[in-house]
Amino acid sequence: MIVKHGALNQWVKEITEWCRPDAVYWCDGSREEYDRLMEQMVASGATTKLVKRPNSFLFRSQPSDVARVEARTYISTSKREDAGPTNNWIAPEELKATMKGLYDGCMKGRTLYVIPFSMGPVDSPIAKIGIEITDSPYVVCNMHIMTRVGTKVIEKLGSDGEFIPCLHSIGAPLSPGQKDEPWPCAPMEKKYISHFPEENLIWSYGSGYGGNALLGKKCLALRIASAMAKREGWMAEHMLILRLTNPEGKWFHLAAAFPSACGKTNLAMLTPTIPGWKCECIGDDIAWIKIGPDGRPHAINPEYGFFGVAPGTSYDSNPSAMDTLKENTIFTNCALTDDGDIWWEGIDGAPPSHAIDWKGRDWAPGGSEPAAHANARFTAPAAQCPVICPDWEKPEGVPIDIFVFGGRRASVMPLVHEAFSWDHGVFMGATASSETTAANIGAVGNLRRDPFAMQPFCGYNMADYFGHWLTMGDRLGRHAPRIFYVNWFRKSPEGKWLWPGFGENSRVLKWMCERIEGKVGAVETPIGFMPHEGDLDLTGLAIPAADLKELFRVDPSAWKAEAADIERHFGQFGDRLPARLRKQLDELRRRLG
């Protein structure tokens, strides 16, 4: 590969001298390259080729390296207050000194791979180019699926194009003759996932897993991109993108933010249960949004694949995802069946009588531990999704009509409500909350505020991020999308699910679209607009009247407690919190009485 970019060649030379690999390899993004690396990993015992799924493989991680490590993730800015209270901060000089010591000789005995990748279609005006250096062939193969890798990116970069340098090492140098581990990584105390937004720079060390190692994903596409977006006047959001088509053939484009493992991928690949409605997936995780020449916000999916949570995915919950995973897929921390297929809790059918669990041990039903890790993943090409939108790679993106926020709440939050205004919608996003899941390391089931589903991913002070949303609304004016909040997870006081979810969620989306068109009205409540009785299409659903009432119940006392918790949440931002959000909280309290 001929690389004419002087700064890029120099950077690779510096990192090579620093990390001291045995070899340097520039990735061309070809199928031959992918197949060769996979064959090498099969031969080394790092992965298992799946008999039942063409060109698909199962990896098992080291048990301490199974998820994003938020406690070891840093936003390193010159001033601590620019990182804000929701991010871990270390001064750039101190963090770089620590990590330089770790990187010194860290790739001995290994190959240094240079991965040129584009986030977004290579020719999109919204796309950005990154270069990831890694010593993990697992990372190379995942990046092949998750991003656009190879020679086209180098050609686009030319001799002086802008790129985001992303340095990654698993942190496990090999001595001569030393046998490698199936999943090499460093101990937890040596893991660092570090971002330097003032330099558009990412350094990651010690983990080979997911967002810690696939640096195009959360690191670039959200943490660094969010800081770039604020400076440049666009938006980098943790949002799925979905096209809805009504029976008359009219399109609506929706971008929705949910914390990990809260049904986001299921919604992105929704199969509507309402006759005549159609959904098509544009993206399942990240949206980059710029104001187009028409004054409307246009969104692209910067990714090229899906990195989804496997447990709970089934033909009942997400048939489109299941069809996507039939071939060309990387599975991580799933169970292996005796006939050479993968298995996880919640997949269709009865569990196998015997399997090899995610730790490589014999497993049978009824044991004390699950067969698949709760955060087990699949990496699959988006183009394989049967409901992928024909315009998913449209360089200029699609115009967004609706923003949706949500989370996993057993109580308090109704099924759906609509913001009174853009500022009120930003308030809804800024106060979004969810019960924690296995996608991040920490206690499961605790309630935490996760503003815009961006708390782990915002690359600068979150109060300034709220301010950026307000500013974008001012710029969009009459073109600003309408904002809604949903909660598919409300339960009865006895703990019973009140809403069937999955494909039935299309009924809620239909109401949103009809609100945009002015076809249905709404009831004004203290927390926002909610459907009139009869306006939510429940044809064919047998939901008891009492359950429906509970689904939409707004309990003033519970909401007063919610307001007090929001007050505490806002308090961490001090005088950096936009006054317009403080006003929204005051108005909520006034409406509650």
Q: Which residues are catalytic, by number?
A: 262
Q: Check if the beta carbon of residue 452 is closer than 8 Å to that of residue 257.
A: yes
Q: Name residue, tokens 């709440």.
A: 409
Determine the Cα–Cα distance for residues 566 and 430; give it in Å rounded to an integer.
9
Assigned token pair, 389: 């939108």
Give the start-end residues of each E strand in 328-415: 330-332, 335-337, 342-343, 355-356, 362-363, 377-381, 398-399, 402-406
Alpha-helical regions (H) of 4-129: 6-19, 31-44, 80-83, 92-103
Residue 162's alpha-carbon distances to 117, 157, 267, in angstroms, are 12, 7, 34
Cβ neighbour number for residue 56 with a 10 Å cutoff = 22
Cα(59)–Cα(98) distance, integer angstroms = 30
Residue 31 CA to residue 35 CA, distance in Å, equals 6
DSSP 470-513: HHHHHHHGGGPPEEEEE-TT-B-TTS-BSS--GGGGHHHHHHHH
> 309: which residues sit within 8 A by CB, 6+ positions away?
260, 261, 265, 375, 376, 377, 439
Q: How many CB atoms neighbour CB 445 within 10 A?
A: 9
Q: How many helices (H) and strands (E) does the chain have?
A: 16, 31
Helix or strand run (H / E) with residue 164: strand 164-169
The C-alpha atoms of residue 569 and residue 582 are separated, in whole angstroms, by 11
Distance of CA 496 to the CA centre of its chain: 28
